[in-house]
Structure 1
């Protein structure tokens, strides 16, 4: 399947590092989640105007479907969009591409938590507005 990230409002690129590769020269499966995480953090910083150190969000659910391996060095693109916004959580969808081909798709659910108690808390109003704009 070819890249068609036109429906995704936010896209980042990430260089495949040598340490990302497994013994057979493919990007290790857990690194795909790291690429999504990097995209998510950049999105929160850029679109929600938050510093990564100040974000109190935990990942409650992560799902990735692998379509083909990323073989070797190069650049991975991660397209991302908010798909739903709740009272204290939000869901994001991802499409990862390498050399013009979709290599994985996925989603994650993030929950805003109180850093002191670990309990969920409502999304800030400005987050809701920004995330709703992308849904």
Structure 2
């Protein structure tokens, strides 16, 4: 794992697809969470070098504040950076932009879990080094 190649805020771009739109032509509110998830998964895989499905991380909390609707298709950018880092959890904050305008902000708290017991587990030291570097 190399922290040299990761810059914060970490940014990804996602295509706004026609299927993301609701009946009035706005991106459905739950799709914003999917854009954040896609950014988070790409980040975890890039930093840890493992598939996100193999990491044993669950989202314990998610909040989004919507500023303006995304209308039509195009590209949404998600900027993400670490927030608070705990013993078994870490926060990530998000800023979503569309056509240069901030459309939403939010945060999520992820918890590392033991796959056998389902209980929280300590955050690996290597993860902490990356997350604490920017928090």
* CA distance in 1: counterparts of 2:96 and 2:48, whole angstroms: 22
Question: Which 5+ residue runs of structure 1 have no aligned equivalent?
Answer: 1-6
Question: Which 5+ residue runs of structure 2 have no aligned equivalent?
Answer: 1-6
* CA distance in 2: counterparts of 1:49 and 1:130, whole angstroms: 13
Q: 1:1-135 alignment to 2 at 5 Å?
A: 8-135=8-135
* CA distance in 1: counterparts of 2:56 and 2:127, whole angstroms: 13
Q: Alignment length, in residue pairs?
A: 129
Regions of 4+ moved over 6 Å: none
Question: What's the Cα RMSD here?
Answer: 1.2
- What's the offset of the Cα at 1:8? 4.3
* CA distance in 1: counterparts of 2:8 and 2:71, whole angstroms: 24
The TM-score with structure 1 as length reference comes to: 0.92
* CA distance in 2: counterparts of 1:61 and 1:109, whole angstroms: 5
Say if 1:26 and 1:71, in contact at 8 Å, map to a contact too.
Answer: yes
Decide which moves more: 116-125 or 43-52: 43-52
The TM-score with structure 2 as length reference comes to: 0.92
* Structure 1 counterpart SS, 2:61: strand
* CA distance in 2: counterparts of 1:126 and 1:118, whole angstroms: 21
